[in-house]
Every structure is written in structure tokens, then in C-alpha cells.
Copies of this chain bind each other. A is one copy, B any other.
Amino acid sequence: MSIASQGPSLATSASPHPFDPVRPQEIRLAVRILEAAFPGVKLRYNRIDIQEPIKKDVVPYIEAERLRKPLPPKPARLLYSYFYRLDTGAWCKALMNADTASVVYVKELPEGVQPPVDIDELAVIEEVCMKHPAVQAEIAKLQLPPGMTVCNDPWMYGTESLTESRRMFQCFMYMVEVDHPENNHYSLPCKFSPVFDAFTHELIRMDYLPGGSDAQEQAVETQPWKPVKAVQYAHDLQDEPIRTDLKPYIVQQPEGPSFSVDGNFVYWQKWRFRVGFNNREGMVLYNVTYDNRSVFYRLAVSEMTVPYGDPRAPYHRKQAFDVGDVGFGLNANQLTLGCDCLGHIKYFDGYRADCKGNPVLLKNIICMHEQDNGLQHKHTNYRSGAATVVRNRQLVLQMICTVANYEYIFAYIFDQAANIELEVRATGILSTVPFDNTNGETVKWGTNVGPGVMAPYHQHMFSFRIDPALDGHKNTVYYEESVPLPEDEKNPWLVGYTTEQTVMDKAGSADLDINRNRVFKIRNDNVINPITYKPISYKLHPAPSQMLLQSKRAIGYGRAEFATKPIWVTRYQDDELYAAGEFTNQSRRAVGVETWSKRNDPTENEDVVLWHTFGITHNPRVEDFPVMPMERISVMLRPDGFFTKNPAVDVPQSSQTFNKSTLHPEPAAAVPSCCSGSSKAKLYKRMD
């Protein structure tokens, strides 16, 4: 009997697909369920969102979809909530079944475990800070000229103590030079920084920021501000003229796009998948198939940490976990037509709950469009001059997250040769600190980016969670190295080389090794390629990156151990989605991939998960200020013996009829008549 058929009717539309994002009526349902479970108790909602469905229950459903067989019952539609009981002061997590409108469990979180920051609470702290007399007193000491004010960015309080259990925010203060919606306050940081209790709103401590290059400098009392000019990024705040010689570049698709969309289901050029969205990870891709063969069950950026390398207190607490502490979904920009994407754009929406449990529409938080990426393949037969040219059309799904000062642009890029690229662009504004630079002084851990402002060194470490399903769920991760053959009689000219494979048959971690061309692959040992005689596989083109720089003895190291190895392999288990664990906010140490991989589960021909840590050691350039030209990181998943030949060989030829390019007009000039050669001529001319 179908579970779905027993559920309460979801008034406004059909029952959601197991991978659909949370719907507003589901947020309301969760509130009703919890209100019924806690009659008379005032609850403050931190999160209400979908819970990942149980994989073993989903797989038969999506397999039936793929094979166009009668559908089995849908898996249970699960919702979760983090919430705060105003009666007992306890943080709780509830798991609910939306189909039966019932609680599966409610549990109190252990002492010291903090759910992520919620957006409403951040706004409150920001206001509390500005109104606090101690903060106002510091502001007064600045003796700011008329028209200038101060604002603050509350930051998650990176743990420095293994016993602290208050929920805290550290506010970084900035001067606001002009009353403009895009004033760059990050150019004028203040030297005081209050710390607040998130519940009592009590000022826990006023920190004073160091201003020089001495790591042990004693902080000094707030001094009157010595005026300097902010470095502005907004176009109408700049002194220099804006460029006028950039001509429009317009993409037209007169016959419409090559994709089709049904709800969150996308079909494009033999690819099919579902676009998921949740408050934490933001965009997630589910059930990715090519030519109706299963490829990936789930792809997501599961975590990111940004530890700062400035050794001076209180900067050691700056270690954001932008997925776990706040959520890429919650921070996703509401995208605007003609600005964030170009061409024919489809947008997807999401929802979140506010702290009262009201659904809030997150409009246009994912955009999808096609793009042309140059050539995909070409060959010219030099004898005949005949060329086959195929362009590289791509499908892009993009999400842009603003995390206070900084921006991340995530894109999954599909192509016609069965490749999937995860592209990350880092942009936005550097997290800055005040710096008393008087005599051309510099620091060893940062870059001066403007008058009185320095941008400390830091790292951005991402975890890309890859849940493969190559022709089924029993897969194996291994690595392959290219090594010279022995210098023996079978290699007489000393040029031979071969590949060596190492299967990761137990959960664990591995390093990259460029010098051995170490490549990580995922294969299905149960499906042999009829041409290569080897198991079908995909390979990962990793982004080779320096790992976490902080000391093994630093607290932040244990909180972000996922960032100490580029490759992790675990056996799939429900609830193991986030590389640094479920609760990162003020965490004391992670319970994430470093913990799960220690189980040493067998991972050969099992339901495996591959986690790739990559990132940037970002030692700021002055060119990254006042807003940073994007730095691009790319990770690719490419078929390697998954097909029997180039899967893009059936893409039509590139032609002028189709592409309608324009020839740049040339000044009238005679081509010397003495010379042979034309675009269709053979590439060489025989000698008589």
C-alpha cells in the first residue's frame, strides 16, 4: 500500500517528487506538527527544511522512473526542524513524516552543540550591537565627521575553547563613508569589536583589534579617526570614469533553448537530472543519467571552511563554515534577468522558514541556461582539407551565495560528451582588518589593500561530495598512476610507461600526486566495457590544492579535518552528507568524513561516496580590492571507458547556417594575385 496515498493532501499541487525542495505548505505542516507536539510551548524556528530521503527507499522509485516501469510507492517525505524551546531553553531537532503528518523523533541537542546561525537572529544581533552603550561610546571616541556613521557585520564565533557553551557573535565594526546602498564599509574597519551573547544580548567583551605588524601588540584605546578615503566598488562612487567602449554582446536563441523542464526535472542533450535545493547546501543535483544510463545519485558542495592565517587575537576565531554555520541555500542571491546569466534563462525558486515558521520565498536562487564554450572536437583530414567541427554547447546551473563580505559562484556545467564540471568562482569583498600603516610597513600574513586597511591571508576549502551510481550503486574508487616500465629487455628503448591501479577497498583518505599523474576513478566492476575489456568508469579531474595550513594542534584543525586530505572515500550511510558534520557552528571538533572513514568500512564494489577537498590558499592581491575579479576553480567528472566511443560524435556539425557569425569588415585591399591558398584548399600543395 502506498504511503504517499495515505498522507494529508497537499492542497496546492501534486505530491512532491522525493528530490523536490521543501514547499511552503510543508513548512506550514511542520509548524502544525510541532505545535501539536508541544502544546502551549513557544518555539523559535531555526530551520524547517526537507530531510534527505532514505536512499534504499528512493532507489526502487527512481529506477522504475528510469526504466519506465510502474512506479512503486514513493519513499516517506521527511522534514526536519532545528528549533529552540522558549520554556526550557533547549535546542531541539525534530524529524517529521509529512505523509503521515507525524513526528518521527524529537531530540534535545547536547550541551554546547549549536545549530547554525539563523538569518533573523543575525539581524537582531546587528541591531543590538549598534544600540549598545559601550559600542556607542567607542563610536563617539572616533570623532567622526558629520555624515559618517558606523555599521557592523556579526560573525560566527569560531571556537577557541573546548568548554564554552554560550551562543555568541563577534561583531566587526566599520565606518560608513557615504549614505549609499553600496558603500564599501570594508574599506574602513574600526579597531573595536564587541562580542555578544545571542540569547541574553549581553555584551560579553569588547575586543580591541591590533593595528600593527607585531603579533603580540597590546591593544590601545580607540583613537579619533584619521580620515582616509574609502576604496569604493560601486560605479557611481568612483572617481575614475566608467569604460564606454564596451559594446553589447547579445545571445539569441530564436528557436528557444535545447532543454526542457518539468518542475525540477531537467532534460537536455541526453542528460536527465533533478535540481534539488535545500537551505544548507543550496543547489543539489539528483539522479543524473546520460542516455538513460545512471551516472550519479547525488552531487553537492557539502561544506566549506575559511580559516584565516592572521595569528593575532581575535582573528584566530575567523573560521567560517559557510555551509554548516549559515547555509549556501539561505545565502543564495535572488538572481536578476540580464545580470547574472546571459541568454535564455530558466530560474528555480526555493523556500526557507523564518523564525516564526512562516515560509519565505527565495526567488530565482538557481539559474539555468545554455552557453557556447568554443570547440568540443575538430579534425581536418589534411589530404582532402575536409573538416569535422563540433562546438561545445553546455548547460549551466548556477547559484551565487553572498556570505557577508564575500561571494561564491557555483556552477554545474554539463556538456554533450558526458562531462560534468563543478566550477567555483570566488569573488566579492575581502574580509579586511584595520592597519596603522604609516611608514610603508607590511605584515607577514596579509596584504595592504588601501589606506589603513589590510586583507589577511586565508584559505577557502571546499568539499565536493560525489555519490556515484555508475550503472548501479555498487561502485569502487581507485587511483591510477603513470609510471615508467622497468628498464629491462621488454623496454629496450627506455621509453615505455604503464599505469598502476590501487583500489581503495576500505574507507579512508588519499593524497594527490601530480608527479605520478595520480588520477582518481570510479568504476563498476560488474559492468565490463565491450571495447576496452575493463570495467566501465568515470574519472575525477581534481583541483590540486594546498591543504589546511593551520597546526594539527589548533582547534580549527579538528573542526575542519576534511580539509586536511584531498580525497576521502566512505561507504554510503544515510545522514552522512556534510564533510565537517551536521553541527559546525562553534563546533569543538568535527564529526564528519574524518570520523566516518575511520570505520574502515569495505568500499570495494559497495555503495561508495567520494569526497574531494579542494580550494584556494588566498593571499590577497591588491587587485582583489575593493571587489575581487573572480578566481576560478574547476573540478571535472569525465567518462573513462563508460561508453564505447566519443559520446558527442552524434552532435551536428558547426556551420554558418546554424551559427550566423559576422565577418569583421576589412579595409579594401587587394590580396596579391600571385599567391595560392583558400580556406577550402588542401593544407599543402604538391611540388611538381
- Chain A positions 234 through 260: 1 when the CB is less than 8 Å from some CB of chain B, otherwise 0: 110010111101111111111111100
Which DSSP category, helix, strand, loop or mixed, fits chain A's interface? loop
Question: In the docked arrangement, what's the CA distance between A684 and B153, Å?
Answer: 14
Among candidates B381, B418, B623, residue contacting A182 with C-beta atoms closer than 8 Å: B381
**Chain B min CB distance to A225 (Å):** 20
Among candidates B246, B495, B544, residue contacting A514 with C-beta atoms closer than 8 Å: B544
Whether B427 pairs with A407 at a CB distance below 8 angstroms is no
**Chain B min CB distance to A68 (Å):** 19
Number of A interface residues at 8 Å Cβ cutoff, please give it.
Answer: 223
Instruction: Report if A163 contacts B (CB, 8 A).
Output: no
Q: Which residues of B contact A101 (CB under 8 A)?
A: none
Q: Which of A380, A497, A654, A679 has the most CB of B within 10 A?
A: A497
> Given contacts A346-B664, A370-B249, A498-B457, are A554 and B653 in contact (CB under 8 A)?
no
- Chain A positions 347 through 383: 1 when the CB is less than 8 Å from some CB of chain B, otherwise 0: 1000100111011111110001011101111111111
Whether A258 pairs with B231 at a CB distance below 8 angstroms is no
Whether A662 pairs with B345 at a CB distance below 8 angstroms is yes
> Given contacts A255-B247, A646-B233, are A496 and B215 in contact (CB under 8 A)?
yes
Whether B391 pairs with A342 at a CB distance below 8 angstroms is yes
> Given contacts A485-B445, A630-B376, A659-B248, are A450 and B496 in contact (CB under 8 A)?
no
Among candidates B257, B440, B555, residue contacting A247 with C-beta atoms closer than 8 Å: B257
Instruction: Report if A131 contacts B (CB, 8 A).
Output: no
Question: In the docked arrangement, what's the CA distance between A383 and B639, Å?
Answer: 44
Instruction: Report if A402 contacts B (CB, 8 A).
Output: yes
**Chain B min CB distance to A258 (Å):** 5
Q: Within A401-419, which residues are at the interface with B (CB < 8 Å)?
A: 402, 404-405, 407, 409, 411, 415-419
Instruction: Report if A21 contacts B (CB, 8 A).
Output: no
Chain multiplicity (copies): 2
Whether B617 pairs with A517 at a CB distance below 8 angstroms is yes
- Chain A positions 451 through 493: 1 when the CB is less than 8 Å from some CB of chain B, otherwise 0: 0000001000000000000000000000010111101011111
Whether B554 pairs with A494 at a CB distance below 8 angstroms is yes
Whether A659 pairs with B629 at a CB distance below 8 angstroms is no
Which of the segments A108-116, A117-125, A190-198, A587-595 contacts the partner chain?
A117-125
Question: In the docked arrangement, what's the CA distance between A379 and B340, Å?
Answer: 11
Which of the segments A52-60, A71-79, A200-208, A306-314 contacts the partner chain?
A306-314
Whether A554 pairs with B250 at a CB distance below 8 angstroms is no
Whether B487 pairs with A651 at a CB distance below 8 angstroms is no
Instruction: Report if A657 contacts B (CB, 8 A).
Output: yes
Whether A256 pairs with B250 at a CB distance below 8 angstroms is no
**Chain B min CB distance to A351 (Å):** 7
Question: In the docked arrangement, what's the CA distance between A240 and B337, Å?
Answer: 38
Among candidates B240, B384, B404, B489, residue contacting A382 with C-beta atoms closer than 8 Å: B404
Whether B248 pairs with A269 at a CB distance below 8 angstroms is no
Whether A250 pairs with B253 at a CB distance below 8 angstroms is yes
**11 examples of A-B residue contacts, CB within 8 angstroms:** A124-B686, A160-B493, A215-B496, A235-B653, A316-B492, A343-B662, A351-B675, A392-B630, A512-B514, A622-B641, A623-B641
- List the 7 shortest-distance A-B pairs measured between CB atoms, nearest first: A338-B656, A311-B496, A316-B493, A181-B384, A417-B629, A494-B551, A361-B677
